Amino acid sequence: MVFSLLLNEAEKLPIFAEKGGIVEITGSMDNLSIKGDGENLLLNEMMNILRSCPKQTLNKTVDSLIKANNSSFTCLYLIEKYDGESDSPNLTLLKERIEGLSGKIKDTPYMISIQGKINQLSNKNSSIYSLPGQDREGNNIKWTSIMDQYILVSFWASWHPESVQTQDSLESVLKELEKEDFIICSVSLDVDKEAWLQASDRKDSKWYQVCDFKGWNNPIVKAQGIQTLPYNILLEPNKRILDKNIKILELEEKVKEHQERNNKKENNQTLKEIIITGSASRVRPILMTTLTTMLGVVPMAMAKGEGAEIYAPLGQAISGGLLTSTIITLFIIPVLYFMTEKNKQENKFNEDIKDEN
């Protein structure tokens, strides 16, 4: 059985209660020591290792502890402390850590809830619907001003030489894709405004420069689990993520490939598909208009009593006419149009063959 000892408003410490076991907790809130057997002894050893671990190697140390003890319930503490309770965890890292756990640990209620959280965030992180920060003139970039474009969201910083070189390389890519529906949004992780303004002086109508001066706390960086620079995310025109961490050398080919594929889809749509799509888009407004009118004349069509011999036939005629016109509009006219256009295409094809002969 596992009990959680609440250390403060945010941090909890698990205590493993084993039959006949004795657990002794000593020390201050910042430097607790757990004495006991089994899981409690292992937890104390892990805590001591992590306390002396440098910050830059903390993630690697946590990974090694989880892999070495993947059947231990102490892994729940490590995942909860370093990933699970975060509002924007590194999903890639969290998935890797959970993947290495044994079945009995994965089946615990806590791990099941974490898996649900991962699925929810994965769906949320499959699109980027806004860019945090402002451009060089202090204006917010709105996606509504960037329609029907493939977008490369490129993360960089003026203090990171390799990412600056990548930004320089993007100039040639933009020239190559000048005729394509493609733009670049460079998102800087700078916190120094002057340094960013000096390094981002690239003027092009298809290249946006954005910065929120939050560094690694940029919302997209946290949500997508970005830990290295440079980092590029390619978005489709509907702002869904097409590719992550795409290399500059692959970018040009990738954009052209998808654009050609979309063009083929549009051009290869048959006459039948076009008619079905067009008719389907009109079903709802036609039915709404027809039904509201028909419901309005139902009392007239079903009238009884004085004057019914005049009003009832009128209401029935209106209802019948509306029903007939709806059937003609939704079914008969599209079919006739299809037959007419198909006949025209066949005649044109036959004429072209005669001309060639």
Whether residue 147 sits in one domain with residue 251: yes
Query: Where do we find the tokens 């039959």?
Result: 19
Residue 138 within a domain: no
Q: Contacts by 1-5 with C-beta closer than 8 Å and gap 24+?
A: 2/73, 2/76
- Pairwise CA distance, residues 120 & 89, whole Å: 12
Whether residue 262 sits in one domain with residue 277: no
Q: Last residue of a domain, which of 124, 155, 180?
A: 124
Residue 130 within a domain: no
Which tens digits make up the pLDDT trace of 7-52? 554 456 667 666 777 777 777 766 666 777 777 788 778 888 888 8
356 pLDDT band, cuts 50/70/90, is very low
Residue 129 in contact with residue 239, Cβ under 8 Å? yes
- Pairwise CA distance, residues 310 & 296, whole Å: 17
Residue 225's nearest CA partner among 317, 314, 105, 97 is: 97
Q: Residue 236, Cα to own-chain centre: how many angstroms?
A: 11
Residue 14 within a domain: yes
Whether residue 102 sits in one domain with residue 10: yes
Q: Which domain holds residue 284?
A: 271-356
**Token pair of 15, please?**
């205590």
pLDDT for the residue numbered 8: 56
Mean of pLDDT over the chain: 80
Q: How many domains does the chain have?
A: 3
- Pairwise CA distance, residues 34 & 19, whole Å: 17
What CATH number does residue 216 fall under?
Answer: 3.40.30.10
Specify burial of residue 241 (Cβ count, 10 A radius: 0-12, 13-18, 19+).
Answer: middle
Whether residue 306 sits in one domain with residue 227: no
Residue 134 within a domain: no
| DSSP per-residue string spanning 93-106 | HHHHHHHTS-HHHH
Residue 245 within a domain: yes
Q: Last residue of a domain, which of 207, 235, 266?
A: 266
Higher pLDDT, 43 or 88: 43
Question: Helix or strand or coil: residue 36?
Answer: coil
Whether residue 231 sits in one domain with residue 159: yes
Whether residue 89 sits in one domain with residue 11: yes
